[in-house]
Structure 1
Amino acid sequence: MNRSHTARVRAVPAGHHPLRAGPRPAGENPSEPFLAVRAAHWRAPVAGGSPGWPGTPHLLAELVRAEYRGGGPATVPAVFATPRDLVLARLRRLVRAGGVPTPAECVRLLEDGDHARGAVFDAWPDVVRRFGPTRSEAALSAGLRTGNAPEAAVAAMLDLAAAAGLRPLTRPELRAAATAPGRRTRHAAWRLLRATGGRALIPDVRTAGDAYERALLALLGRDPSADRVRAAPRRGVVVAQSMLLGRLDRPGEGMSGGLGVLLGSLGDALAGTAPVARVLTVVTACTPELEADPVLLRRRAPGHWVLRIPVDSGSQLRPDESGRHREAMAWWTAELFARSAAPVDVLHVRYADDGSLALAEGARRAGTRVVFTATPDPHRQITERYDTPAADGTALRDDLHRVFVADRLVGRADRVVGIAGRDGGAPELLRYYPQLADRDGGGAPSAPPEGIPPYLPPPREAARRAELLRTVDRAVAAVPEPADAGAAVLLSVGRLHPVKQQDLLVRSWIGSGCHRHAALVLVGGSPHDGDPVERAVRARVEDALRACPEARRRLVLLPALSNAEVRMLERGLADPARRVPARYVCASAKEEFGLGILEAMEAGLLAAGPLRGGVPHYLVDGHNGLLIDTSCAKTLGEGLVRLLAVDDASASEMAARARTLVRTTFSSAAMAGTLAGHYAEVAAARAERPLATVR
């Protein structure tokens, strides 16, 4: 349907961006201070500008100066940073430089909060190697006997002792710790008993208070050699891939997103790709999930198994909670990998968080090699978000912790890969990770193409599609139809989360006047109202609607659908026979890749994605879609206007180019083939040389 009140958008060749609106993506500024400081730290060439912030002092400048000795003279006194901040920054600087703190320093730092415990956890293997077990054991013994350390620090000390097989407590002291009221202390003491030959003091599984303790005591009570006896003959590489947040097969609910869809299809494809013999997709299971299903290993498809890492929590693991479970997750990983029917050769982790660091440490203990997908997140937004005295200090500290974790994963990984850019590689990673320039002969890291599986229709496809389209059409019918144009549909799919910005999308839809021309369909979120993050996003959407009651009937809020149903709905909306223009919009603050956008493009919808992040690597503005600035309501609204202003003929041309690109380049089968080669090379290196020391 041609719409005469809209402007025709001229398609252009790939690589040209005449329609790009708003600023360049964050991180493209060559003189960006945070990146310059990091480059100077690794003695890499600094592209433009000099390290540091010459203007008004603020927390970011002080923390970065302390952590990297960049951004100004080290003698400048701190105004915004606390003494604890400076101690942690010095620890990170030491570790980045290849040094290690003393065992006594490590014990003291365990009381300085979760970020400090994370740095100690990462450094501990090298601490014991450098200073020896006797000195390390003595430091833990002194720390445990002070009697005033918080439980988190006590549990961490016990777990550090277990990781190195140390005995910092006498048997009576350890027996008392094993019956302590605090769960973290009690569980860590059980693990230490197991590591130091005290299995007889571990409680019987029948005394467990819940499903998590049953799983823990059952594993502690089993003889690992019994599992190894059943090991199957090796016929290929055994690969583990991690997805620690959300559920594998329920995208759009809670923390479940596109990664679950990716790893589900990728694991299936890898299992049938030579030389991979077996794939384990590693997920987490909280206590209620273990109560409902205590099985830790279950087959998903031929050659593809799901391995569940128990987490002592009453709800699904959230990003800000993984540090609390870091030591326990490392233990579970090492134990379960060691008990696998065949040794796990390679673990692939994809996020820079405490959970991924825990799995990498567990893999080291089990003799498993590590592959890490590095992304410039949150690196690319550090200066943009925090270069002001009014910045959120808590968020800044969390992001600097994630940058540190990413650096440590790069150091631990046997191979670092990136997400493919326009040229098929990942050269931009060298700006965010200058240390990569000295690895693997230099040059940009390899970037295996990410992809989506072929569309498989869901059960009752025709009936279910008709049901969903009727829901959409009721909203379309509520849109005023000018005499010269019909109503359109804007579709957005994603979990309800602040980074996905559904509330900002609704405000922009209303504020730009697009609600007078298009119905908005949001798909995502749990069908119930139990998740606090989802509740907050829904509340902000409601606030936006209260300001414009007429928009309510033109908004469709659908709970998360299966991936097959989402793709079926997209195909239905893209069908030219419907004669209702439909567009897809991703309003995320940024997407490192954006699998949901690829799925919409594959279905034949004209898609708009965020300027920030990795979407510009495959979506060329005005050629196979639109790039929009999603940084605020005003620019997002302008992007929606642009999207609806594309006439049907141009939209069809761009959508056709997009569909061809996805179907020829971004498939899970192609991704599996490329990754299988990486895994085989990394596994072969395992037999040729011992595991590297953490760098």
Structure 2
Amino acid sequence: MGIQTAMDRITESGSIIEAMRAADDLAFEAGRDPGLRTLRVLSAAIAADDDLAAIAAVHALAEMNDEEAARLLSSLLSSPRPYIVEHAADALGRRPARPDAVGRLVRLVAEGGFAGMLAQHTLEKWSTGAAELLAVALETASTGTLPDDARARLVETMGLVRHPLVVRPLQTWATDAAAPTAVREAAVAALGQRGEPAAISTLEQIVAEGGVLGDLARLALIDAEPAPLVRDSGEGLTVAQLFLHADIDPSLSSAGSGDNGGIATLLVRLGDALVAEPAPVQRVLTLSRGTAAQAGPDLLRVAGGETGHVYGHIPLSSPPVGSAAAWPLRVSVRRGIRRLLRAAGRVDVLHLRMADVGSLAAADVARELGIPTVFTVAPDPHSVIASLERSGTLTRKDFGPVDLTEHFWFRTHLVQSLAASAAHSVFFPRPQLERDMRALVGIDMSSHPERHTVVAEGVDLEVVDRAVARARQVAAGDEPVGALAELAALLDALPAERRRLPLLVTVGRMHRIKGMATLVRAWADGPLADAANLLVIGGDLEHPSLDEREQLDHIRAALPPAQHAARGLLLTGHRSNDVAAEWLAAARFGLPGRAAPGGVYVCASLKEEFGLAILEAMATGLLVVAPDSGGPATYVDDDDTGFLTETADPAKLATATERALARAGGADDGAAERARDLVAERFTIQGMAAKLAPVYESVAHSEAELQRAAELLI
């Protein structure tokens, strides 16, 4: 193809996604022909005003076996454009260690954030060939005048360097009672990566001190064990699944708070369904965030061979951060995942679902321990990029600054990497699935179709049916109790005239992607507010995250809090899945004297890869309003069981909701039964488990055959 032709494909591409995919060819050509002209073409692109071409050129430099190219790449760490610095820090990890770049990478680590994570990753790769250089550089940098969190990051990075020089300073920081807590914790965790007797002795000393630091030291001693804890493997499979950014427990008590969205509910219900069947899955290990105090008992249960659905916590510092800000936790997340999977003994399959720091770290552990992965592939952030480009809010010339906050480039390549290394790929149903996967992600599903499976997510109909039965009884005259009594109290706070109206309901995380503020604005700005009250279930209202605070600010701008009750807006915060199910059922049947029957469920998400909450609403018998792209378009029968619309447009969202309310308030046309039947036939959690179990069995069987073949050659 040639370097100029490859660059032309990027600069002349019809879309941002096409340009990003063409970057792989540019990198290939740069590696194939690392000459002077290649260097000139890439340098010109970096200097120009096309952000996409500049970023692609930075990564292409890393593929050139050329000293001048390496020198240029290193110099980009001093670029005045922060996004170029970030991508240079990442790209340098594919080059041999360069002494002239070490100091600037160390500075990025100290500064933290996403760029700091990338710089730390690069230094870790370099530590095998330049350990002494890095040990000295990191110790020197960490002794200066630094904020506590910056020093802690440098100490953590020292723990990644395999050289005896780092043990002594780590011991000093770990045992210094005057040192900041964050620094001591980082040093303790880092000592767990060392096998030296001195490191073990220090950890044992700290365990004896007790407290949170003692809990961390106890975990670090487990990390230092040279061999995994092995359990009796038994006959069935052990499947691990992961979602880092949630507080997952069997009761789903935190559903809807922070990042505790539908994925948390799904993992709990799916794990239960997988082990409920007699075969082939004997144990499901669900991993999520937690504390050091939780992690210790979890390890004992996992290592003890407990079967069924078992939960394991990865200890992270509090307060928890959202997925977008969690990338700097890569090392501690990887350490926690590794600890749990080693304790589990044999893990047959690890199922990854998100292109986030959890999957990034888990993929590293899977490679180290030889565990095959299954990856659920979704065009995320690909669909978001395409949507923003269509709306004109993202262009190739301002891609760089946006990428600094959204990490689009890194995340799209992480999706490709996770899919390429997976033993099996799982896909959500979409109207044009094969086309979208090829155009957005670059996956040809017709190639090796035996390694691709389309699996619809599912809901627990027992939960829904119990909720529907309770709501029917209350609608027929029974006194509301439990969750319905709580909803009744909320509705009693509305003016009397508003207690004759039906409910619009939405459930989910309070995040801009979920469109909560867009829905409030669409409702408040037009006749919808006169036709129905709006019940918003989700978010931590007392201690909101940054994303939640942003949405709450937009909601307050659309309707001041002093007017919420008078206008019929109910912001309830997060509720458990069981409570939300009863409130959805109440929206359908009404609460006498408090809410009229004929409510509607509204999903205002910018995108829904599938949409569990929409399915739960349909199973309840509610008419739904949902996005006209992605998963919902495969199961919402437009103008029958619901209405599909362009949810990013408040006017179109309001119009679709008005139509849904009119239909719901009319004569019964059987839509509720048709929606419930559809869910029962195609979208139950039991059906999802039945589809996934053979995938896991096939992957485990193939891996066993590979292992036997390898053993014959040894």
Range into which the TM-score falls when normalised by the shorter chain: 0.7 to 0.9
Shift, 1:358, TM fit: 1.4
What is residue 11 of structure 1 aligned with on the other side? none
Picking from 482, 489, 508, the partner of 1:464 is 482
String of CA shifts for 1:640-672, please: whole Å, max 9, x gaps.
233334364587444333222111111111111
Relative to structure 1, the CA distance from residue 231 to residue 390 in structure 2 (aligned partners, 3 Å threshold; closer, same or farther) is closer
What is residue 221 of structure 2 aligned with on the other side? 221
String of CA shifts for 1:544-589, please: whole Å, max 9, x gaps.
2239948734222323222122222222332399762211101222
String of CA shifts for 1:3-47, please: whole Å, max 9, x gaps.
xxxxxxxxxxxxxxxxxxxxxxxxxxx975122113324569xxx
The residue correspondences of 1:321-336 to structure 2 (distance < 5 A) are 321-336=325-340
Q: Secondary structure at the match of 2:289?
A: strand
Shift, 1:623, TM fit: 3.6
What is residue 607 of structure 1 aligned with on the other side? 624
Query: Is 2:429 the partner of 1:420?
Result: yes
Distance (whole Å) between structure 1 residues aligned to residue 652 and residue 53 of structure 2: 29
What is residue 241 of structure 1 aligned with on the other side? 241
Shift, 1:263, TM fit: 0.6
The residue correspondences of 1:101-140 to structure 2 (distance < 5 A) are 101-102=96-97, 109-112=105-108, 113-119=112-118, 133=128, 135-140=129-134
What is residue 83 of structure 2 aligned with on the other side? 85
Relative to structure 1, the CA distance from residue 178 to residue 391 in structure 2 (aligned partners, 3 Å threshold; closer, same or farther) is same
What is residue 17 of structure 2 aligned with on the other side? 35
Picking from 269, 278, 289, the partner of 2:273 is 269
What is residue 458 of structure 2 aligned with on the other side? 451
Whether the 8 Å CA contact 1:66–1:90 is kept in 2: the answer is: yes
Question: Gaps spanning 5+ residues in structure 1: where?
Answer: 1-29, 45-52
Distance (whole Å) between structure 1 residues aligned to residue 50 and residue 361 of structure 2: 32
Relative to structure 1, the CA distance from residue 357 to residue 677 in structure 2 (aligned partners, 3 Å threshold; closer, same or farther) is same
Letter matched to residue 290 of structure 2: A
Query: Is 2:375 the partner of 1:361?
Result: no
String of CA shifts for 1:509-556, please: whole Å, max 9, x gaps.
121221111111222234644655444534443332239948734222
Distance (whole Å) between structure 2 residues aligned to residue 404 and residue 91 of structure 1: 16
What is residue 475 of structure 2 aligned with on the other side? none
Distance (whole Å) between structure 2 residues aligned to residue 223 and residue 391 of structure 1: 41
Question: Which has the larger displacement, 583-592 or 465-474?
Answer: 465-474
Letter matched to residue 437 of structure 1: D
Structure number with greater CO (CA < 8 Å, separation at least 6) is 1
Distance (whole Å) between structure 2 residues aligned to residue 689 and residue 528 of structure 1: 52
What is residue 656 of structure 1 aligned with on the other side? 673
What is residue 5 of structure 2 aligned with on the other side? none
Letter matched to residue 399 of structure 1: H
Relative to structure 1, the CA distance from residue 440 to residue 285 in structure 2 (aligned partners, 3 Å threshold; closer, same or farther) is farther
Distance (whole Å) between structure 2 residues aligned to residue 407 and residue 652 of structure 1: 45
Distance (whole Å) between structure 2 residues aligned to residue 531 and residue 391 of structure 1: 26
Distance (whole Å) between structure 1 residues aligned to residue 95 and residue 450 of structure 2: 29
Whether the 8 Å CA contact 1:284–1:317 is kept in 2: the answer is: no
Q: Secondary structure at the match of 2:586?
A: helix
String of CA shifts for 1:195-235, please: whole Å, max 9, x gaps.
33231233524465743x33321123349879966622421
Distance (whole Å) between structure 2 residues aligned to residue 471 and residue 32 of structure 1: 55
What is residue 196 of structure 1 aligned with on the other side? 195
What is residue 315 of structure 2 aligned with on the other side? 310
Question: Which has the larger displacement, 516-525 or 196-205?
Answer: 196-205
Shift, 1:402, TM fit: 2.5
Distance (whole Å) between structure 2 residues aligned to residue 327 and residue 463 of structure 1: 47
Question: Gaps spanning 5+ residues in structure 2: where?
Answer: 1-11, 27-44, 62-68, 145-149, 471-479, 709-714
Relative to structure 1, the CA distance from residue 209 to residue 101 in structure 2 (aligned partners, 3 Å threshold; closer, same or farther) is farther
What is residue 374 of structure 2 aligned with on the other side? 371
Relative to structure 1, the CA distance from residue 143 to residue 414 in structure 2 (aligned partners, 3 Å threshold; closer, same or farther) is farther
Q: Secondary structure at the match of 1:348?
A: strand
Distance (whole Å) between structure 1 residues aligned to residue 331 and residue 170 of structure 2: 18
What is residue 141 of structure 2 aligned with on the other side? 147
Whether the 8 Å CA contact 1:268–1:301 is kept in 2: the answer is: no
What is residue 4 of structure 1 aligned with on the other side? none
Letter matched to residue 195 of structure 2: T
Shift, 1:616, TM fit: 1.8
Picking from 396, 406, 411, the partner of 2:415 is 406
What is residue 673 of structure 1 aligned with on the other side? 690
Whether the 8 Å CA contact 1:619–1:626 is kept in 2: the answer is: yes
Picking from 350, 354, 379, the partner of 2:353 is 350
TM-score w.r.t. length of structure 2:
0.76
Distance (whole Å) between structure 1 residues aligned to residue 287 and residue 691 of structure 2: 21
Query: Is 2:394 the partner of 1:386?
Result: yes
Letter matched to residue 308 of structure 1: H
Question: Which has the larger displacement, 219-228 or 373-382?
Answer: 219-228
Relative to structure 1, the CA distance from residue 252 to residue 644 in structure 2 (aligned partners, 3 Å threshold; closer, same or farther) is same
Distance (whole Å) between structure 2 residues aligned to residue 123 and residue 414 of structure 1: 27
The residue correspondences of 1:140-219 to structure 2 (distance < 5 A) are 140-147=134-141, 151=151, 154-161=154-161, 166-167=162-163, 169=165, 171-179=167-175, 181=179, 186-194=184-192, 195-198=194-197, 199-206=200-207, 210-211=211-212, 213-219=213-219
Distance (whole Å) between structure 2 residues aligned to residue 510 and residue 520 of structure 1: 9
String of CA shifts for 1:589-642, please: whole Å, max 9, x gaps.
222221111100000000111235432232232243111222143333233233
Shift, 1:678, TM fit: 1.7
Shift, 1:419, TM fit: 1.5
Whether the 8 Å CA contact 2:244–2:289 is kept in 1: the answer is: yes
TM-score w.r.t. length of structure 1:
0.78
Root mean square deviation, CA, Å? 4.2
Q: Secondary structure at the match of 2:319?
A: coil
Whether the 8 Å CA contact 1:353–1:406 is kept in 2: the answer is: no
Q: Secondary structure at the match of 2:481?
A: helix
Relative to structure 1, the CA distance from residue 585 to residue 301 in structure 2 (aligned partners, 3 Å threshold; closer, same or farther) is farther
Distance (whole Å) between structure 1 residues aligned to residue 693 and residue 414 of structure 2: 26
Distance (whole Å) between structure 2 residues aligned to residue 117 and residue 535 of structure 1: 25
What is residue 500 of structure 1 aligned with on the other side? 514
String of CA shifts for 1:261-283, please: whole Å, max 9, x gaps.
11111000111332111111101
Letter matched to residue 452 of structure 1: V
Q: Secondary structure at the match of 1:492?
A: strand
Whether the 8 Å CA contact 2:243–2:358 is kept in 1: the answer is: no
Distance (whole Å) between structure 2 residues aligned to residue 310 and residue 290 of structure 1: 8
What is residue 262 of structure 2 aligned with on the other side? 258
Whether the 8 Å CA contact 1:437–1:443 is kept in 2: the answer is: no
Relative to structure 1, the CA distance from residue 504 to residue 125 in structure 2 (aligned partners, 3 Å threshold; closer, same or farther) is same
Letter matched to residue 455 of structure 2: P
**Same amino acid, percent of matched pairs:** 27
Shift, 1:257, TM fit: 1.3
Distance (whole Å) between structure 1 residues aligned to residue 662 and residue 491 of structure 2: 21
Q: Secondary structure at the match of 2:165?
A: coil
Distance (whole Å) between structure 2 residues aligned to residue 193 and residue 500 of structure 1: 41
Q: Secondary structure at the match of 2:637?
A: coil
Distance (whole Å) between structure 2 residues aligned to residue 437 and residue 277 of structure 1: 33
Q: Secondary structure at the match of 2:456?
A: coil
Relative to structure 1, the CA distance from residue 283 to residue 635 in structure 2 (aligned partners, 3 Å threshold; closer, same or farther) is same
Relative to structure 1, the CA distance from residue 223 to residue 169 in structure 2 (aligned partners, 3 Å threshold; closer, same or farther) is closer
String of CA shifts for 1:295-324, please: whole Å, max 9, x gaps.
55669996000001111x221242234222
Question: Which has the larger displacement, 138-147 or 247-256?
Answer: 138-147
String of CA shifts for 1:158-188, please: whole Å, max 9, x gaps.
2433xxxx22516534433544635555445
Between Structure 1 and Structure 2, the one with more helix by share is 2
Distance (whole Å) between structure 1 residues aligned to residue 632 and residue 657 of structure 2: 17
Letter matched to residue 604 of structure 1: G
Distance (whole Å) between structure 1 residues aligned to residue 285 and residue 367 of structure 2: 17
Whether the 8 Å CA contact 1:505–1:636 is kept in 2: the answer is: yes
